Amino acid sequence: MKNYPHPIIAREGWPFIFISLVVSAIVTWKWFWWSIPLWLITLFVIQFFRDPGRVVPGLKDAVLAPADGRIVVVEKTRDVYADRDALKISVFMSVFNVHSNRSPIDGKVEDIQYFPGSFLNAAVDKASTENERSAMVMTAENGQTVTCVQVAGLVARRILCYAEAGQELARGERYGFIRFGSRVDVYLPLNAKPMVTVGDKVSATETILAQLQA
């Protein structure tokens, strides 16, 4: 995954874009003006699957945003995936955000846990416990635990997680994708210093969510 290319458009979207282009072209050839709505849908699909490269900040022990979107939760709660109390920071992704997910830290993947579930609006907090989700528990280079949970949303029906237990991930490394609107929850040690507040807009890899403390 470290060598995953960034061709601007995510590979997960290639089949959808191809089908949209073919259908739009056929309708244009036969009915012309009736194809305009289809071309608008095609443009939407292309923008949804965009996957630009990102610049990794150099700040030591920084926890980076795993996804583009808006902060909807900053609170202390229970991390059931790593069985601990934790600071939770949640990023909500609308259908207009980039949906490529990236590792928030340099560290080792300790466990991957998948849970089937509902498809509630990902902006509401109970989506964290009731929706379909995939949790990745990691150990940072300083020995602290960071949990990153991909949560399906109202429209999302497909969570893709490519990471495996035992794998080493670098900050900003692409590890997954969620199709069509969702959220990512990050659980941190209680003493982590949050660098964002509810309502902030964040960019995957380039925005610092929090600072791990020694």
Asked if 153 and 124 count as a contact pair (C-beta separation under 8 A), the reply is: no
Count CB neighbours of 82 within 10 A. 18
pTM: 0.85
In order, the DSSP letters of 151-168 are EE-SS---EEE---TT-E
Segment among 16-20, 146-150, 163-167 with least mean pLDDT? 16-20
Break the chain down into helix, strand, coil percent, rounded to 5: 20, 40, 40
- Rounded to whole angstroms, the Cα distance separating 168 from 173 reads 10
pLDDT band of 143, cuts 50, 70, 90:
very high
- Rounded to whole angstroms, the Cα distance separating 3 from 95 reads 27
For the four alpha carbons of 122, 126, 128 and 130, in that order, the dihedral sign comes to negative
pLDDT of residue 205: 94
Backbone angles phi, psi at 157, to 5 degrees: -135, 15
Report pLDDT digits (tens) over 165-190. Answer: 999 999 999 999 887 668 899 999 99
Q: Which residue has the higher pLDDT, 154 or 71?
A: 71
Residue 204 Cα distances to 63, 98, 109, 112, 199, angstroms: 11, 8, 19, 21, 16
- Asked if CATH classification 2.70.70.10 holds for the domain at 62-211, the reply, yes or no, is yes
- Rounded to whole angstroms, the Cα distance separating 207 from 55 reads 10
148-175: average pLDDT: 87
111-138: average pLDDT: 80
**Catalytic residue ranges:** 182
Residue 98 Cα distances to 48, 75, 199, 210, angstroms: 6, 25, 18, 21
pLDDT of residue 2: 46
